[in-house]
Chains A and B, each alone.
Chain A
Amino acid sequence: MLSSDEKLVERCIQGDDTAWEQIVTSYTRRIYNLGYRYTNRRDEAEDLTQEILIRVYQNLKSFRADAGTFQNWILKVGRNLIIDHYRQTRRFQQAAGTEELETMNLKDEKVPSPERTVERDEAARFLREGLEALSPELKEAIILRDIEGMAYLEIAGLLGIPEGTVKSRINRGRLELAKLLSKRRAQLGWQM
Chain B
Amino acid sequence: MKCPQFEERLSEYMDRTLPASEMGQVAEHLHECANCSALLEEMRSILLRCRSFPSYEPEIALIERVLLRTTGRPRTRTFRELLDQYFLRPLLTPRFAAGAVLTLMFIGLTFGLFRDRISSATALLSPRELFSQMDRGAQALYSRGLKVYDKKNEWQAQFTFIKNNMLNRLGLMIDQLDVPVEGKKKSGEPRQQQEKNPSGKSSLLLLPT
Whole-angstrom CA separation of A175 from B40 in the bound complex: 9
How many interface residues does B have (CB within 8 Å)? 34
Chain A: interface residue count, which band? Answer: 35 or more
In the bound complex, residues from chain B placing their C-beta under 8 Å from that of A107 are 55-57
B42 CB to closest chain A CB (Å) equals 4
Of B58-66, B113-121, B184-192, the segment with at least 4 beta carbons within 8 Å of chain A is B58-66
Whole-angstrom CA separation of A59 from B102 in the bound complex: 59
In the bound complex, residues from chain A placing their C-beta under 8 Å from that of B151 are none
Of A15-23, A67-75, A78-86, A153-161, the segment with at least 4 beta carbons within 8 Å of chain B is A15-23
Give B17-61 as 1s and 0s: 1 = Cβ < 8 Å from A's Cβ atoms: 000000000000000000000110011011101111111111100
- The residue from B47, B55, B63 contacting A25, defined by CB atoms under 8 A apart: B63
A178 engages B46 (CB within 8 Å) = yes
A21 engages B39 (CB within 8 Å) = no
Asked whether any CB of chain A lies closer than 8 Å to the CB of B7, the reply is yes
Asked whether any CB of chain A lies closer than 8 Å to the CB of B132, the reply is no
Asked whether any CB of chain B lies closer than 8 Å to the CB of A8, the reply is no
A173 CB to closest chain B CB (Å) equals 9
- The residue from B12, B49, B59 contacting A46, defined by CB atoms under 8 A apart: B59
B67 engages A21 (CB within 8 Å) = yes
B172 CB to closest chain A CB (Å) equals 100
A-contacting residues of B (Cβ < 8 Å)?
A: 7-8, 10-12, 38-39, 42-43, 45-47, 49-59, 62-63, 65-67, 69-71, 73, 75-76
